[in-house]
Amino acid sequence: MKKVGVAILGMGVVGGGTYRILTENKEFFARTQDVEITVVSVLETNAERAKAAGVPEEAIASNIAEIVGNPDVNIVVECIGGTGAAKDFVLVSLQAGKHVVTSNKELYSKYSYELERAAKRQHVGLYFEASCVGGVPVIRTLLDGLQANRISSLMGIINGTTNYILTKMTEEGASYEEALKDAKRLGYAEADPSADVEGFDAAYKLSILSSLAFHTKVPFSKVVREGITNVSVEDVSDGKALGYVLKLLAIGKQSDEGIEVRVHPAFVRKGHPLASVSDGFNAVFVTGDAVGDVMLYGRGAGALPTGSAIVSDVIYAATHVDHKYSTFKNTENADKNVAFIEDYKSAYYLRISVDDESGTLAKITSVLGKNHVSIVEMIQRAKGEGKAEIVLITHETHEFAVRNAVAKINALGVAEIKSVLRVAS
């Protein structure tokens, strides 16, 4: 039976989950995959944390050189995160001829071209299933399961922290601040939640997923990004009254005009499959020309779900002789021949505070009409003291047309746009 040695860098939540799966299921993998996988080394600055996870003292390395110089290590699993030491350690491992498995979306999104170059030079594998949507096997699905398809779109809820916060706001009427506090208490959100709530985490993942789906480099810098920090409970409940649920969506589309990639809050109709993806769950909805619609659903974070993705990659690296790399020229920048669409099309939700007097509505609809923004439905309620609030949903129109209309409506002197949110179709 083939024998394979693994080193794990970082014994935090994900490293600990990976260690547990590899050690507890060792015999199962030997029986089902015909490979004996042993964790031979672990790099963790906090030795107590490694020991608490069950790592024997003699397996705790004191530096990366011990790992890359160890002939018994065939696969290095990176669970450190960030782009500092993690990048150096991954590169040095690849250069030493080790296969690398990483859960690091920021690293892979920003430096895949450099890492892949190093992997190709040494003919070793570079696997990153755990970087996107934790335990949900979306990367293997795009690389292998859907390779017969030209993919026209992918749309997903790919950040659990923000999905938990928005679910709490939708179902319990909690404010953003209250929901964030609760997410921190439950360990969903970190002390500094900005990577999640500002949409960075989802944007890294979208750049990786859309590069794979569209077979061209989609750099992180091309992803339009807007987080959920400005979402108000009024918007959530107004949308709900109109039959919509607010989600932080990651959207990638490819057409003859080019590629659009964006992460922002968006309303989805209550009947849409993504509308019922609640709490910390994630889902990705992919449309291919042959298969039609496919939806993958599951846990996008956590020790064992993320460990599941890592260990699947470890087994893949251990049982394959030829390694698969990107289907596109993996460079730092996008291919010059690919256009990225900024003036994309969407339907919109607008909440407008207005002076409650005759002629106001006519002025607003005139601006919308001149900008080719057409209304689907609208509600108005009096707010007292001469004020009213209008909530409307538009037909599909262009982003720049809406921005132009918003600026003009604000300049009327009788209305103030309180919120502009997209509505997914």
Q: State the nearest-atom distance from the C-beta of 182 to ligand HSE, in Å.
A: 14
Burial class (CB in 10 A: 0-12, 13-18, 19+), 31: exposed
Q: State the nearest-atom distance from the C-beta of 73 to ligand HSE, in Å.
A: 26
DSSP 8-state code for residue 395: P
Distance separating alpha carbons of residues 104 and 101, to the nearest angstrom: 9
Q: State the nearest-atom distance from the C-beta of 201 to ligand HSE, in Å.
A: 5
Q: Are 42 and 60 in contact (CB under 8 A)?
A: yes
Query: Among residue numbers 53 through 112, which ones bind ligand HSE (CB under 6 A)?
Result: none
Q: State the nearest-atom distance from the C-beta of 118 to ligand HSE, in Å.
A: 24
Query: Among residue numbers 154 through 173, which ones bind ligand HSE (CB under 6 A)?
Result: 159-161
> Of 304, 313, 306, which Cα lies nearest the Cα of 33?
313
Query: Among residue numbers 239 through 258, which ones bind ligand HSE (CB under 6 A)?
Result: none
Single residue of 301, 341, 390, 391 touching ligand HSE by CB under 6 A: 301
Please pick, among 105, 168, 205, 217, the residue that the annotation labels catalytic: 205
Query: Among residue numbers 193 through 232, which ones bind ligand HSE (CB under 6 A)?
Result: 196, 201
The pairing of strands 387-394 and 375-384 is antiparallel
User: 26: which 2 tokens?
Assistant: 């060792």
Beta carbon nearer to ligand HSE, 165 or 373: 165
300 binds ligand HSE per the rule CB under 6 A:
yes
User: 361: which 2 tokens?
Assistant: 């509505």
Q: What is the DSSP string of 335-351?
A: -TT--B-SS-EEEEEEE
Site map for ligand HSE, 260-299, x if CB under 6 A?
Answer: ----------------------------------------
Query: Among residue numbers 106 through 165, which ones bind ligand HSE (CB under 6 A)?
Result: 159-161
Q: Are 248 and 202 in contact (CB under 8 A)?
A: yes
Site map for ligand HSE, 371-400, x if CB under 6 A?
Answer: ------------------------------
Q: What is the DSSP string of 174-224?
A: --HHHHHHHHHHTTSS-SSTHHHHTSHHHHHHHHHHHHHHHTS---GGGSE
End-to-end CA distance of the chain: 52
Q: State the nearest-atom distance from the C-beta of 160 to ligand HSE, in Å.
A: 4
Distance separating alpha carbons of residues 222 and 335, to the nearest angstrom: 12
**205 part of the active site:** yes
Residues paired with residue 100 on neighbouring β-strands, in sequence order = 76, 126
Beta carbon nearer to ligand HSE, 5 or 265: 265
Q: State the nearest-atom distance from the C-beta of 119 to ligand HSE, in Å.
A: 22
Number of residues that bind ligand HSE (CB under 6 A): 7
Binding site for ligand HSE (CB under 6 A): 159-161, 196, 201, 300-301
Query: What residues are annotated to the active site?
Result: 205
